[in-house]
Amino acid sequence: MARRAIYPGTFDPLTNGHVDIIARACRLFDEVIVALLINPGKQPLFSVPERIEILNEVLKPRFPQVSIETFSGLLVDFARERQAQAVIRGVRSIKDYEYELPMVLMNRRLHPELETVLLVASEENSYVSSSLMKEVFNLGGSIEGLVPEIVIERMRQKKTQ
């Protein structure tokens, strides 16, 4: 049976930290579903179709075993539907671990067969977060090398719109 994992998130925007975690997940699993959470409560920078387009452009050429999907509702329900064995999350710090642990335990309670695999981000991405990227970019700072080139292009376009 193919080993299938889900990498869930909001990806607003996709960063090189996310790409690094996806590359690591692809070494461990036959199939990796990058699952974009549709969260109507949040006001994102990029719409769902814009984020899907960015994910496709960046990930498709590099990672043949990656598919990109959206989900809403409980992650465990989506994992059951897709018959995934694992959820991937990236951790950069103890703070991330503290944020992830309750989710790991809750997801385990809801779906005991689903394992969460916490992957440690590379050193150079250890401070890269979507919110920090948006803040620095909006205040005129460079985020070159920290997010895919297409993300910078799209952020520039948004600024001039």
* Contact call for residues 130 and 55 (beta carbons, < 8 A): no
User: Of the ranges 4-12, 46-54, 121-129, 147-155, which one interacts with ligand PNS (CB under 6 A)?
Assistant: 4-12
Place of tokens 């969460």: 116
Q: How far is the CB of 37 from ligand PNS (least distance, A)?
A: 4
DSSP 74: -
Alpha carbons 150 and 37: distance in angstroms, whole number:
21
Task: List active site positions.
Answer: 18, 42, 92, 130
d(CA 161, CA 152): 14
Nearest of 1, 2, 6 to residue 82 by alpha carbon: 6
Stretch that binds ligand PNS, among 8-16, 19-27, 142-150, 152-160 (CB under 6 A): 8-16
| Range 48-107, binding ligand PNS (CB under 6 A) | 74-75, 103, 106-107
Lay out the site mask for ligand PNS across 102-141 (x = CB under 6 A, - = otherwise): -x--xx----------------------------------
| Shortest Å distance, C-beta 109 to ligand PNS | 9
Say if CB 7 and CB 25 are below 8 A apart: yes
Give least dist CB 149 to ligand PNS, A. 21
| Residue 48: burial class (beta carbons within 10 Å; 0-12, 13-18, 19+) | middle
- In the complex, the smallest distance separating the C-beta of residue 121 from ligand PNS, rounded to whole angstroms, is 13
Residues that bind ligand PNS (CB under 6 A): 8-10, 37, 74-75, 103, 106-107
